[in-house]
């Protein structure tokens, strides 16, 4: 089988391939009929599966035959009579890329170098943020005491687990607002010690459950140790030998055993959490629900991460090394794109080929997103520049794949098959395009700000004189007219100061009259000047006293808050007490992030739209923008504590458990009032809505980093 194509020269018929020494082949019945052969590499705990015609060729590769001779003999075998020359080429490439064969003719092969490099050090994956430290072999202990733990996976316990999970979900949905509020600040440094403790206990149980399930089916358990993921310690146990089981359903049970036990614990914790009042024990149970439930589902059950969900998917589709096969195919596609080298055919049905083609790109994008979120959170927590960890993530994810592609390009050049002009042009164009799309080209962004509906125009009744609210004369929803008394404040110091000044004015007037009668005109003139000053002070103090009675500045309707609920509350000068709204129009007062503040101020009337759930949308016009940012929320209906869209936290200076009404926003925010043009008739004051507009153009990269940073800071803070 000699190829006439230059690009196939390294895999010509004269090539001699020899299987590595410790391979074992096991025939297995395929799930849809027929037979397959399972290839095991015991020294590396790797498993592969090939069809019968592929096995007919592979079994002949002992180093004594050339690839052409092995192909010819395989064709004479009943198992390999349908084997094509192109399939022979693909199999030979796959064997070399997987490190299952060696050849003196491929001493410079990038795959063989990769195989040697991949066996050194704890950073075998090439990522310093993801490493394994093996410690001991737990199989003797489990073989001896496995009967003590086998009940964990009995049918009765699985049925009880289903009931517990359903009950836990019902309890969480019944306390959904409380559950959402407690998530704010969950990753704050002050909570690390508790999170780390819960994390370690659950992950040890997770791996122990894998091992118990493995021994339950009589399979040897491999090494156990510590896995460092972003410097966070995790336990791990090697149960790769479960691939020796012929039943894929038993293998799936082993793969799901860790998720099973973690969600068991999380379900019990959720039921107990819902029955307890907030406190330290409740917080510990909440952390258990988050780590054992949400995080376990997000990471371990997700097939895009190489964890339990991946192995379940791999078994369901009957592709034992889905990730590595998909990565090799993606590498072939990139190589074809760069240097025009032909993409090998995938010896699978069409739907499996499609899965292999999309798995590596989807998995890579998802892991990139997760790693960047973790990097930003870790940098925020330890005070390290985020750029350093993001660069480390990018290097860890892309360095080894790029190294392999570069090595293959170098190999093609060494063999004289490299199309240098194409490789240089395509590489340069690709890099420039990616950089331009992600970091240079600006794209318009859609901005949004949540708010609450108010009467328009409206007037805030503020305390011109500090004091306690003594009495109220109106109620919420009552129509008021200009000058109508609304409420009365009391301030004993102001009243006493007024009486003191009035007494001093009267005393000064009498003293002045007496001096005039006595003919002391010069002294009387001095007293006259003093009297003028006292009268001015008295007039000012009288205004202070009069301002203790709050009057309506305009006609309208009294809106929230209910003044009766404020009786006895002390108000400083300038504090808002009551609000009077106009009867004709409505506006929405929104909370604006600093990211969007400039674009909102520059927005023209026709560019703003106001959206209300169930009531459609209307045009808006920005009437007022508060130039000072604050953490104080103008209406607590918008806070997550009360079911609103804005996350809040207790005040940073709070010593005891703070009231929900005293919570503050995580970051200082601006506020603005947007007039609603032609508001819906059913729109009520107090409804929550949002204002949307097209903001400034920004690159996708900057937008993504800013969004992720904002999310991480809200959780870490």
647-686 confidence digits (pLDDT tens): 777 776 554 444 445 678 877 888 888 888 888 877 777 7
Q: Provide the pLDDT confidence category of residue 163 given band limits of 50, 70 and 90.
A: very high
Of 171, 385, 341, residue with least CA distance to 270? 171
Please report, for residues 29, 80, 321, the alpha-carbon distance to residue 318 in angstroms, rounded to integers and kept in the order given: 12, 22, 9
What token pair was written down for 330? 């993606």
- Phi and psi dihedrals of 287, rounded to 5? -60, -35
Is the four-CA dihedral 515, 516, 522, 527 of positive or negative sign?
A: positive
Amino acid 95: pLDDT: 83
Lowest mean pLDDT among 123-127, 561-565, 676-680, 702-706: 123-127
Residue count of the chain = 717
What's the farthest any 2 CA atoms get from each other in the chain? 145
Whose tokens are 């040897």? That residue is 220
Q: Provide the pLDDT confidence category of residue 393 given band limits of 50, 70 and 90.
A: low
Q: Three-class SS of residue 533? A: helix
- Residues 534, 578 contacting (CB under 8 angstroms): no
Is the per-residue pLDDT at 496 higher than 70?
yes
User: Average pLDDT of the chain?
Assistant: 77
How would you list the strands of the sheet with 46-51, edge to edge?
24-29, 35-41, 46-51
Amino acid 3: pLDDT: 35
Is the per-residue pLDDT at 2 higher than 50?
no
Question: In 182-235, where does DSSP find H-type helix?
Answer: 192-216
Amino acid 341: pLDDT: 67
Amino acid 456: pLDDT: 74
Is the per-residue pLDDT at 587 higher than 80?
yes
Please report, for residues 124, 185, 213, 247, 300, the alpha-carbon distance to residue 142 in angstroms, rounded to integers and kept in the order given: 28, 40, 10, 22, 23
Amino acid 288: pLDDT: 92
Geometric angle at alpha carbon 217, from 212 and 220, rounded to 5°: 70
What does DSSP say about strands 24-29 and 35-41: parallel, antiparallel, or unpaired?
Answer: antiparallel
Q: Provide the pLDDT confidence category of residue 269 given band limits of 50, 70 and 90.
A: very high
Whose tokens are 């919570």? That residue is 663
- Residues 328, 48 contacting (CB under 8 angstroms): no
Question: In 613-669, where does DSSP find H-type helix?
Answer: none
What token pair was written down for 103? 């050849």
Amino acid 554: pLDDT: 76
What does DSSP say about strands 101-102 and 16-19: parallel, antiparallel, or unpaired?
Answer: antiparallel
What token pair was written down for 377? 């959170």
Please report, for residues 247, 522, 592, 623, 689, the alpha-carbon distance to residue 679 in angstroms, rounded to integers and kept in the order given: 65, 71, 21, 15, 12
Buried b / exposed e along 565-602 (16+ C-beta atoms within 10 A): eeeeeebeeeeebbbbbbeebbbbbbbbbebbbebbee
Amino acid 512: pLDDT: 84
To which H or E segment does residue 35 belong? Answer: strand 35-41
Q: Provide the pLDDT confidence category of residue 601 given band limits of 50, 70 and 90.
A: confident
Is the per-residue pLDDT at 394 higher than 70?
no
Q: Three-class SS of residue 408? A: helix
Please report, for residues 76, 145, 196, 253, 260, the alpha-carbon distance to residue 201 in angstroms, rounded to integers and kept in the order given: 58, 20, 9, 22, 15
What token pair was written down for 609? 């739209």
Rounded to an integer, the average pLDDT of 38-67 is: 80
Is the four-CA dihedral 474, 476, 482, 486 of positive or negative sign?
A: positive
Is the per-residue pLDDT at 24 higher than 70?
yes
How many Å apart are CA 51 and CA 40, to the nearest integer? Answer: 15
Predicted confidence (pLDDT) per residue in 520-552, tens digit? 888 888 888 888 888 888 888 888 888 888 888
Amino acid 624: pLDDT: 82
- Phi and psi dihedrals of 22, rounded to 5? -95, 25
Q: State percent of the chain over pLDDT 70.
A: 75
- Phi and psi dihedrals of 444, rounded to 5? -65, 140
Please report, for residues 17, 583, 607, the alpha-carbon distance to residue 83 in angstroms, rounded to integers and kept in the order given: 18, 85, 65
Lowest mean pLDDT among 307-311, 320-324, 528-532, 622-626: 320-324
Amino acid 658: pLDDT: 46
Which of the two residues, 10 and 271, has the higher pLDDT score? 271
Rounded to an integer, the average pLDDT of 156-182 is: 88
Whether pTM exceeds 0.85: no
How many Å apart are CA 452 and CA 650, to the nearest integer? Answer: 22
Predicted confidence (pLDDT) per residue in 423-448, tens digit? 667 667 776 776 666 666 666 677 88
Predicted confidence (pLDDT) per residue in 77-97, tens digit? 777 677 777 778 778 877 887
Is the per-residue pLDDT at 154 higher than 80?
yes
Is the CATH number of domain 16-108 3.90.930?
yes
What token pair was written down for 553? 């500045």
Amino acid 548: pLDDT: 87
Q: In 159-248, where do the E strands start and end?
A: 224-229, 232-237
Rounded to an integer, the average pLDDT of 68-85 is: 80
Amino acid 656: pLDDT: 45
To which H or E segment does residue 639 belong? Answer: none
- Residues 98, 110 contacting (CB under 8 angstroms): no
Rounded to an integer, the average pLDDT of 233-239 is: 77
Amino acid 73: pLDDT: 85
Q: How far is CA 522 from the centre of its chain?
A: 82
Amino acid 299: pLDDT: 83
Is the four-CA dihedral 698, 699, 700, 704 of positive or negative sign?
A: negative
Whose tokens are 């092995």? That residue is 70
In terms of CATH architecture, what is 448-455+585-651+661-714? Beta Barrel (2.40)
Whose tokens are 């397959």? That residue is 36
Whose tokens are 């005039």? That residue is 516
What does DSSP say about strands 46-51 and 224-229: parallel, antiparallel, or unpaired?
Answer: unpaired
Whose tokens are 């996976």? That residue is 153
Amino acid 168: pLDDT: 92
Q: Provide the pLDDT confidence category of residue 263 given band limits of 50, 70 and 90.
A: very high
Q: What is the DSSP letter of 7?
A: G
Amino acid 111: pLDDT: 43
How many Å apart are CA 450 and CA 690, to the nearest integer? Answer: 4
Please state the domain extents for the chain: 16-108, 128-318, 320-440, 448-455+585-651+661-714, 462-574
Lowest mean pLDDT among 61-65, 219-223, 391-395: 391-395
């Amino acid at each position: 089988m000699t190829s006439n194509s230059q690009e196939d020269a390294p895999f010509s018929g004269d090539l001699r391939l020899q299987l590595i020494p410790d391979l074992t082949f096991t025939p297995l019945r395929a799930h849809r009929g027929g037979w397959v052969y399972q290839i095991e590499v015991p020294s590396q705990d790797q498993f592969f599966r090939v069809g019968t015609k592929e096995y007919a060729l592979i079994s002949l590769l002992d180093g004594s035959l050339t690839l052409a001779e092995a192909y010819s003999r395989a064709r004479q075998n009943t198992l390999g009579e349908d084997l094509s020359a192109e399939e022979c080429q693909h199999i030979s490439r796959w064997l070399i890329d997987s490190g299952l064969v060696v050849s003196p003719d491929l001493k410079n092969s990038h795959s063989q170098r990769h195989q040697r490099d991949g066996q050194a050090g704890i950073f075998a994956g090439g990522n310093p943020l993801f490493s394994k430290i093996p410690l001991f072999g737990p199989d003797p202990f489990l073989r001896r005491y496995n009967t003590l733990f086998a009940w964990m996976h009995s049918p009765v316990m699985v049925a009880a687990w289903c009931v517990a999970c359903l009950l836990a979900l019902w309890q969480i949905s019944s306390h959904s607002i409380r559950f959402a509020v407690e998530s704010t600040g969950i990753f704050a440094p002050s909570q690390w010690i508790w999170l780390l403790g819960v994390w370690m206990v659950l992950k040890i149980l997770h791996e122990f459950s894998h091992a118990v399930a493995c021994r339950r089916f009589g399979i040897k358990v491999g090494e156990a140790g510590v896995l460092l993921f972003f410097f966070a310690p995790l336990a791990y146990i090697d149960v790769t030998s479960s691939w020796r089981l012929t039943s894929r359903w038993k293998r799936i049970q082993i793969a799901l055993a860790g998720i099973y036990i973690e969600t068991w614990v999380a379900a019990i914790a959720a039921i107990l959490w819902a029955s307890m009042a907030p406190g330290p024990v409740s917080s510990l149970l909440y952390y258990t629900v988050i780590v054992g439930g949400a995080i376990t589902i997000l990471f371990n059950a997700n097939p895009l991460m190489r964890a339990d969900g991946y192995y379940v998917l791999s078994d369901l589709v009957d592709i034992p090394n889905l990730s590595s096969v998909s990565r090799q195919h993606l590498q072939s596609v990139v190589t074809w794109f760069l240097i025009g080298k032909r993409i090998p055919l995938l010896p699978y049905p069409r739907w499996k080929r499609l899965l292999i083609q999309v798995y590596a790109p989807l998995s890579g994008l998802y892991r990139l997103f997760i790693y960047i979120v973790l990097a930003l959170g870790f940098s925020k927590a330890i005070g390290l520049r985020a750029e350093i960890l993001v660069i480390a993530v990018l290097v860890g994810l892309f360095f080894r794949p790029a190294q392999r592609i570069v090595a293959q390009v170098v190999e093609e050049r060494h063999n004289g098959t490299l199309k240098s002009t194409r490789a240089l042009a395509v590489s340069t164009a690709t890099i420039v395009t990616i950089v331009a799309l992600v970091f240079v080209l600006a794209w318009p962004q859609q901005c949004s700000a949540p708010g609450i509906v108010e009467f328009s125009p409206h007037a805030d009744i503020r305390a011109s004189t500090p004091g306690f609210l003594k009495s109220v004369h109106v109620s919420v929803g009552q129509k008021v007219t200009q000058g109508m008394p609304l409420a009365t404040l009391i301030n004993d110091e102001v009243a006493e100061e007024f009486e003191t000044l009035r007494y001093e004015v009267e005393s000064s007037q009498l003293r002045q009259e007496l001096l005039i009668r006595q003919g002391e005109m010069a002294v009387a003139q001095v007293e006259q000047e003093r009297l003028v000053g006292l009268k001015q002070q008295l007039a000012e103090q009288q205004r202070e006293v009069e301002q203790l009675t709050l009057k309506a500045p305009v006609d309208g309707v009294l809106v929230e808050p209910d003044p009766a609920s404020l009786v006895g509350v002390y108000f400083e000068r300038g504090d808002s007490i009551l609000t009077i709204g106009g009867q004709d129009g409505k506006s929405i007062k929104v909370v604006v992030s600093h990211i969007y503040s400039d674009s909102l101020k520059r927005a023209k009337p026709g560019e703003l739209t106001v959206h209300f759930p169930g009531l459609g949308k209307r045009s808006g016009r920005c009437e007022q923008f508060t130039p000072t940012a604050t953490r104080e929320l103008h209406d607590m209906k918008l806070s997550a504590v009360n079911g609103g869209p804005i996350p809040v936290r207790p005040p940073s200076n709070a010593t005891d458990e703070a009231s929900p009404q005293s919570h503050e926003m995580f970051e200082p925010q601006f506020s603005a009032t947007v007039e609603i043009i032609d508001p819906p008739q059913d729109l009520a004051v107090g409804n929550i809505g949002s204002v949307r507009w097209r903001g400034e153009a920004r690159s996708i990269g900057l937008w993504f980093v800013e969004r992720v940073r904002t999310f991480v800071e809200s959780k870490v803070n």
